[in-house]
Amino acid sequence: MNTLHSAETDIDDRYGDLDSRADSDVPEIPLSSDQTPEILQKALSGLSSRWKNWWIRGILTLTMISLFFLIIYMGSFMLMLLVLGIQVKCFHEIITIGYRVYHSYDLPWFRTLSWYFLLCVNYFFYGETVADYFATFVQREEQLQFLIRYHRFISFALYLAGFCMFVLSLVKKHYRLQFYMFAWTHVTLLITVTQSHLVIQNLFEGMIWFLVPISSVICNDITAYLFGFFFGRTPLIKLSPKKTWEGFIGGFFSTVVFGFMAAYMLSKYQYFVCPIEYRSDVNSFVTECEPADLFQLHSYSLPSFLKAVLRRETVSLYPFQIHSIALSTFASLIGPFGGFFASGFKRAFKIKDFANTIPGHGGIMDRFDCQYLMATFVHVYITSFIRGPNPSKVLQQLLVLQPDQQLSIYRTLKMHLIEKGILQPTLKV
């Protein structure tokens, strides 16, 4: 018995040593092949690698921005599909790195379970969104009522099935590594699914809460790159040797100015400032409302030193422009740390980019590493400083209740308004 136990211990120790390899022993993932279109390769063949990369990045950046404008024009539903597509692609890129790094172990069910957990978590979060924002639509569909009523139980049962499958897949000699990859999958889900859900939550508050933060991060990324490319001399952080203080500072001021101007332009239009709501009578999303006070012009008195410079006493601004300063400041000062985090991750596994999806840029995750951090900040900012009670959301929840429950709430509300003196008590004959 002791001999058998000793043999098992030796085997576990041997594979435990393999699992606890030093960073220097992590297998290097082969670099992806160049996916630059042939026409660009020929057009830029006479340039140095530095300027060739600059032109490729620039052309692809303008292309992506143009496509982004097109999707904005197509409406909020297409933006939601875009967010979902980006989430799935980012998840795929991170999971693929884990699979390639530990490919020699041939872990059973790893990729299958990873995608299964992605479906489970998306089912949970998007089910919550349906319950919150489409209550009137759900009320008409009996099958959906069942799914929404027991949504959390169904979500938990689905996750539990995946959890049991993981336990059943455990193989002797690979225990520690399998738990590493289980944690890898869940951290990836936390980074991608949770954050993309917050992006959609921000979008429902009004497209402006989606566009200004995202465009601020894009602006900071572009301007920091340009300032660093032309003026960069002083290294900023060892994790990203190409990042410079000149690019960081130039990107900060450019982003704050851009965010302030973008907020002014977008605040003029209902399409961007109205909360996105689902109208069951027209069976579509609508962005029509009386703009909130946040998007109405207000006069503000200028500080004394600005009065002398601008030669005016007051200035007219949308209150949202003031909030945009906080958003763009975060995008340019804290947002880049999402990129630094991603750089550290890539260095840990000796890779240049997450993938080669976009020539000159790398993978989708390489472009959205800062966006996920920004999404969390915007959601926290809205819930902390902006959002108040939402009458339409309360009404949707009331409409789902049974008639006797609705009458009970009506009587309670009526008595409350009478006590406040807002309604006159009904005279009894």
Summarised one tens digit per residue, pLDDT across range 218-248 is 999 989 988 998 898 898 888 888 889 999 9
Query: By residue range, what is the domain housing residue 427?
Result: 389-429
Instruction: With beta carbons less than 8 A apart as the criterion, state whether 285 and 77 touch.
Output: yes
* DSSP line for 336-382: HHHHHHHHHHHHHTT-S-S--SBTTTB-HHHHHHHHHHHHHHHHHHI
- Identify the residue whose tokens are 């490729």: 56
User: Are 383 and 394 members of one domain?
Assistant: no
pLDDT value for 238: 83
Q: Does an H or E element contain 76, and which? A: helix 76-101
- Phi-psi group of 297: left, alpha or beta (phi > 0 → left; psi -120 to 50 → alpha; rest → beta): beta
In a domain, 413, yes or no: yes
Looking at residues 88-106, what average pLDDT do you find? 80
- In degrees, rounded to 5, the angle at the alpha carbon of residue 426 between the alpha carbons of residues 424 and 428 is 150
pLDDT value for 43: 64
Q: Which residue has the higher pLDDT, 92 or 176?
A: 92
User: Are 87 and 161 members of one domain?
Assistant: yes
Q: Which long-range contacts (CB under 8 A, 24 or more apart) does 273-279 make?
A: 273/206, 273/207, 273/208, 273/320, 274/206, 275/204, 275/205, 275/206, 275/390, 275/392, 276/76, 276/203, 276/204, 276/206, 276/207, 277/133, 277/392, 278/133, 278/134, 278/136, 278/137
Task: Evaluate if residue 318 carries a pLDDT over 70.
Answer: yes
Chain centroid to CA 158: 24
**pLDDT of 141-166, one tens digit each?**
667 777 888 889 999 999 999 999 99
Q: Residue 188: which of 330, 333, 342 has the closest Cα?
A: 342
Q: What is the dihedral of CA 278, 281, 282, 283, to 10 degrees?
A: 50
Q: Which residue has the higher pLDDT, 9 or 73?
A: 73
Q: Does an H or E element contain 274, and which? A: none
**pLDDT of 385-415, one tens digit each?**
987 666 666 776 777 778 898 899 988 988 8
Which span out of 56-60, 94-98, 379-383 was modeled with the highest average pLDDT?
Answer: 379-383
The pair of structure tokens assigned to 311 is: 């030669």
Q: Residue 372: which of 199, 223, 206, 117 has the closest Cα?
A: 199
In a domain, 6, yes or no: no
- Identify the residue whose tokens are 């203080």: 245
How many folded domains does the chain comprise? 3
Q: How confident is the model at residue 17 (pLDDT cuts 50, 70, 90)?
A: very low
Round to whole Å and give the CA distance between 55 and 63.
Answer: 12
The pair of structure tokens assigned to 173 is: 């000699």
User: Are 164 and 260 members of one domain?
Assistant: no
The pair of structure tokens assigned to 408 is: 């009970």
Instruction: With beta carbons less than 8 A apart as the criterion, state whether 328 and 260 touch.
Output: yes
In a domain, 225, yes or no: yes
In a domain, 8, yes or no: no
pLDDT value for 427: 53
- Identify the residue whose tokens are 């990107």: 251
Q: In the listed set 161, 176, 204, which residue is the last one of a domain according to the structure?
A: 204
Query: Strand 298-301 relative to strand 235-237: parallel, antiparallel, unpaired?
Result: unpaired
Looking at residues 26-48, what average pLDDT do you find? 60
**pLDDT of 100-142, one tens digit each?**
776 645 677 888 899 999 999 999 998 888 777 776 666 666 6
User: Are 189 and 214 members of one domain?
Assistant: no
Looking at residues 192-197, what average pLDDT do you find? 91
User: Are 224 and 360 members of one domain?
Assistant: yes
Round to whole Å and give the CA distance between 368 and 282.
Answer: 34
Q: Residue 31: which of 365, 354, 367 has the closest Cα?
A: 354
User: Are 339 and 235 members of one domain?
Assistant: yes
In a domain, 311, yes or no: no
C-alpha dist (Å) from residue 390 to 82, 93, 134, 328 = 26, 38, 14, 26
In a domain, 21, yes or no: no
User: Are 229 and 356 members of one domain?
Assistant: yes
Instruction: With beta carbons less than 8 A apart as the criterion, state whether 336 and 248 touch.
Output: yes
Computed over every residue of the chain, the mean pLDDT equals: 82
Q: Letter for the amino acid at 97?
A: I
pLDDT value for 40: 63
Instruction: With beta carbons less than 8 A apart as the criterion, state whether 331 and 220 touch.
Output: yes
pLDDT value for 109: 80
Instruction: With beta carbons less than 8 A apart as the criterion, state whether 335 and 220 touch.
Output: yes
Instruction: With beta carbons less than 8 A apart as the criterion, state whether 373 and 335 touch.
Output: yes
pLDDT value for 154: 94
User: Are 218 and 267 members of one domain?
Assistant: yes
